[in-house]
């Protein structure tokens, strides 16, 4: 199988004179579920957007597998991003929302139909394909947003706080579904969250970010048991 791990080397981002990402190195092996946590403004979304190609790097390299994608078009990277605001098209049906990128890519009708129906099956949306987003619950809308990523069969999924608009009960349900989805698809996933429980339960590896760099990274229990400083402890460490 093709290597689809995500590898960052000394990645830097400045907006004007402000250094927002400062020399980030990371290696996320193929098929891993990586989680970024850290305070608001520490650069989590900027990092994701650079991996997606929605934002240029100021310096450094980004590779997917052995392929340097630093200057590659977003559409060529094999990456799909799911946002917190579902960004669905309100006038289109669930089916057409999920089919949108495939239609843009001029995929044959049979293929579009097959891919959308398969994604809908995985996400329990099969009975809702003719509805408009306004007729769906928040959880269903978020599933449509995930479905739009799935139909593209990306090597890498990027999630930017995808559950933070949902109520507590739905978050738990969607968290379990995301874990199932990861198992089922086997894709590399990078997930940004504020939620400690989400991070602890979903992650193979947690990256704790602060001020544009990685404070510490490791398996959830290792960080929990042995945070390298008070900052990390405050985010995911055991109360002491
Ligand atoms: P997070 O997702 O961790 O909350 P962001 O990546 O959104 O953080 O932002 C990191 C920092 O970069 C913040 O200080 C933010 O104000 C700044 N920033 C993000 N996007 C831009 C932009 N387009 N122009 C200027 N500053 C930006
Ligand atoms: Mg953000």
For the cut 80, the answer to whether the pLDDT of residue 47 exceeds it is yes
Query: Which residue owns the Cα nearest ligand 1 atom 22?
Result: 15
- Using the mean position of ligand 2's atoms as its centre, give its distance from the Cα of residue 211 in Å: 13
Confidence of residue 166 (pLDDT cuts 50, 70, 90): confident
pLDDT at 240: 46
- Ligand 1, CB cutoff 6 Å, lining residues: 15, 20, 38, 40-46
The answer to whether residue 239 scores a pLDDT higher than 60 is no
Residue 130: other Cβ atoms inside 10 A = 10
Ligand nearest 40 Cα, by number?
1
Q: Compute the average pLDDT of residues 144-156.
A: 94
Q: How far is the CA of 37 from the centre of ligand 2 (A)?
A: 10
Name the pairing type of β-strands 6-15 and 18-28: antiparallel
CA distances from 4 to 67, 84, 178 (A): 9, 24, 19
What's the 162 CA to ligand 2 centre distance in angstroms?
Answer: 11
- The average pLDDT across 195-204 equals 93
What was the pLDDT predicted at 188? 97
Query: What per-residue confidence (pLDDT) applies to 27?
Result: 97
Average pLDDT, rounded, for the chain: 93
| Distance between CA atoms of residues 34 and 43, nearest Å | 16
Q: Which helix (H) or strand (E) holds 80?
A: strand 79-82
State the closest ligand 1 atom to the C-alpha of 160, by its place in the atom list counted from 1. 2
Predicted confidence at residue 238, as pLDDT, reads 57
In the block, residue with structure tokens 């004007």: 16
Residue nearest to atom 21 of ligand 1 (CA): 15
Predicted ipTM? 0.98
For the CA of 40, the nearest atom of ligand 1: 4
In this structure, the dihedral spanned by the alpha carbons of residues 179, 180, 182 and 184, taken in order and rounded to 10 degrees, is: 170
């Amino acid at each position: 199988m093709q290597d689809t791990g995500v590898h960052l080397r000394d990645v830097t981002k400045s907006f004007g004179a402000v250094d927002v990402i400062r020399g980030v190195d990371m290696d996320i092996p193929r098929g891993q579920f990586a989680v970024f946590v850290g305070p608001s403004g520490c650069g989590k979304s900027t990092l994701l957007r650079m991996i997606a190609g929605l934002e240029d790097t100021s310096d450094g390299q980004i590779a997917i597998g052995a392929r340097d994608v630093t200057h590659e078009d977003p559409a060529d990277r094999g990456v799909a991003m799911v946002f917190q605001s579902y960004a669905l098209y309100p006038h289109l049906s669930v089916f057409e929302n999920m089919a949108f990128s495939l239609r843009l890519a001029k995929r044959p009708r049979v293929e579009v139909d097959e891919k959308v129906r398969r994604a809908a099956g995985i996400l329990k949306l099969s009975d809702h394909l003719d509805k408009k987003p306004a007729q769906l619950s928040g959880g269903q809308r978020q599933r449509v947003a995930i479905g739009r990523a799935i139909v593209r069969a990306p090597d890498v999924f990027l999630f930017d706080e995808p559950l933070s608009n949902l109520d507590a009960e739905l978050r738990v349900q969607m968290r379990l579904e995301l874990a199932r989805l990861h198992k089922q698809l086997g894709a590399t996933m990078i997930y940004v969250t504020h939620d400690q429980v989400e991070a602890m339960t979903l992650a193979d590896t947690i990256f704790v970010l602060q001020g544009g760099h990685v404070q510490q990274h490791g398996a959830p229990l290792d960080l929990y048991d042995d945070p390298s400083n008070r900052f990390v402890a405050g985010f995911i460490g055991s109360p002491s």
